[in-house]
Amino acid sequence: MTTVTEQDIRKIWDVAVEAVHPHSLMRRHISIANNDLKLAGEQIPLGTVHNLYLIGVGKASGAMAAEAAKVLGSHLTDSLVTVKHGHEVEGAGINMISASHPVPDEHSVEAVNRTLHFLEKVEEEDIVIFLLSGGASALWCDIPDGLNMEDLSQAYQQLVNSGAAIEEINTIRKHLSRVKGGQLVRYCKGRIITLIISDVPGDDLGIIGSAPTYPDTSSYREALDIIHKYKLGPKMPESILSYLEKGVRGIIPENPKPGDPAFLRVSNTIIGSNKIAVSAAAKAAAELGYHVYASDKLVTGETQQEAKQLIGSLLQCRFKKPCCVIQGGETVIQVRGDGKGGRNQHFALAALKELVLLRNNIDAEDVILLSCGTDGTDGPTDAAGAVISMATLDLVTEKDISIDEYLDNHDAYHFFEKTGGLIQTGPTQTNVMDIQLMIVT
């Protein structure tokens, strides 16, 4: 039976996700009044705009486009948006393509080709609204000369499993593309106004979605150094290494840098972030009567270490109970086993292991912890994440289940499938990294 605190932790989670859903964000940044388009803080007379186009890519781009279309109505000339398979928005009146994530597929290539063809009709007097969100780096995958889809997919898979930080992964992605790292602006004559839902630590415009419309400060040399840092050279296709080497030698030109005149007609505005979700969660927890401890520091370390630290805080900090501890970010996980799961399920399982070790030293009636991805997807699974409690701990003891066995094999999904802790929301149509909630009573 679900307890009141378990119901509360789900309510808090739901409020956090709702706060960063496109229908909560878009209308603050796009509206029409008195024949003026108010867009990203700018007022643009519609009479000065010849055509108004909409393109987008990312897990949230479908819902972002649907909200934009409601506002723009007949003023919208045409649209083309790329979303993750299963994240399509029906009845939005938007042309959508779906592609694979986190490893690109042939649809990812088609999406780039169709988008570039779409941009060919844009003239100088036109405005392109570009909707960018997390997942874009895989959903758009073009094939530069000398590379092929199989090698790119293999490279992407190695990067995802390597334990590299997202800024490192996207540095490499930006240098295996013709559109990432600011290169998209080269294909558009008109003005580009980019609205962004951030899924990266620090909301770095140079990282989100591999930054198709933002100057690239990284280099081919840095991309190659990252591959060597994580000892990925032997695992990478030779064509990938050769391509990056050509970039280092200047045979392939670098991506456009800050100061490039092409960016004079481009603006980038972040409209949603993890900070907004954490703030909404904190408010919801307080309204439910909990003492709130919300961290303003993003969680970006190794998954198991971050889980251990959060549970360890129960001994190190004097929380006034009942309380709700809230944090957000995106941990780093290096996949070694052949199990099924994602970083949030792994986080919850690692936290459970720590609870087992510290249970007798923790002054609490119950501890409930939820770790979920705000996009509704955790790794290559149908779960957003998982939830644990003292009841989970009791079940593990009763059935003599080995937590270490599931942790070592990176098989948290099957652990929580067995114990009943999976959180399955389906696509949420947004993406601002992950959130961990811990209620202590």
Q: For residues 366 and 438, is the Cβ–Cβ distance under 8 A?
A: no
> What whole-number distance in Å separates Cα of residue 431 and Cα of residue 376?
8
**What is the structure's pLDDT at 382?**
97
Q: For residues 374 and 428, is the Cβ–Cβ distance under 8 A?
A: yes
Strand ranges, E, within 259-346: 266-272, 291-294, 323-329
Q: Considering only the top CATH level, what class is 4-9+275-440?
A: alpha beta
Query: Could you read off the pLDDT of 197-234 as tens digits, one per residue?
Result: 999 999 999 999 999 999 999 999 999 999 999 999 99
Mean per-residue pLDDT, 159-176: 93
Q: What is the DSSP letter of 424?
A: -
Residue 4 has pLDDT above 90, yes or no: no
> What whole-number distance in Å separates Cα of residue 257 and Cα of residue 210?
14
**What is the structure's pLDDT at 37?**
97
Lowest mean pLDDT among 280-289, 328-337, 375-384, 410-419: 328-337
**What is the structure's pLDDT at 335?**
86
Adjacent-strand bridge partners of 155: none
Query: Could you read off the pLDDT of 86-100 as tens digits, one per residue?
Result: 899 988 899 999 999
Under the banding of pLDDT at 50, 70 and 90, the label for residue 339 is very high
**What is the structure's pLDDT at 317?**
80
Q: For residues 54 and 33, is the Cβ–Cβ distance under 8 A?
A: no
Q: For residues 210 and 173, is the Cβ–Cβ distance under 8 A?
A: yes
What CATH architecture is 26-142+177-218+255-272? 3-Layer(aba) Sandwich (3.40)
Q: For residues 352 and 309, is the Cβ–Cβ distance under 8 A?
A: no
Q: Where are the domains of the chain?
A: 4-9+275-440, 26-142+177-218+255-272
φ and ψ of 67, to 5 deg: -70, -40
**What is the structure's pLDDT at 56?**
99
Lowest mean pLDDT among 277-281, 337-341, 437-441: 337-341
Non-local CB neighbours of 162 within 8 Å, separated by 6+ positions = 169, 230, 232, 334
Question: Could you identify the residue written with the tokens 């996009």?
Answer: 375
**What is the structure's pLDDT at 336?**
84
> What whole-number distance in Å separates Cα of residue 255 and Cα of residue 216?
6
* Longest Cα separation, the chain: 71
**What is the structure's pLDDT at 318?**
83
**What is the structure's pLDDT at 103?**
85
Cα 376 to its chain centre, rounded Å, is 10
> What whole-number distance in Å separates Cα of residue 378 and Cα of residue 376?
7
Residue 148 has pLDDT above 80, yes or no: yes
> What whole-number distance in Å separates Cα of residue 32 and Cα of residue 359?
57
**What is the structure's pLDDT at 91?**
82
Mean per-residue pLDDT, 112-117: 98
**What is the structure's pLDDT at 161?**
87
Closest by Cα among 333, 353, 334 to 406: 353
Adjacent-strand bridge partners of 33: 36
Question: Could you identify the residue written with the tokens 């393509």?
Answer: 97
Under the banding of pLDDT at 50, 70 and 90, the label for residue 324 is very high
Cα 272 to its chain centre, rounded Å, is 11
Q: What is the pairing mode between strands 30-33 and 36-39?
A: antiparallel
Closest by Cα among 327, 262, 258 to 292: 327
One DSSP character per residue, 363-394 reads --S-EEEEEEETTS--SSSS-SEEEE-HHHHH
Q: What is the pairing mode between strands 42-45 and 291-294?
A: unpaired
Under the banding of pLDDT at 50, 70 and 90, the label for residue 11 is very high
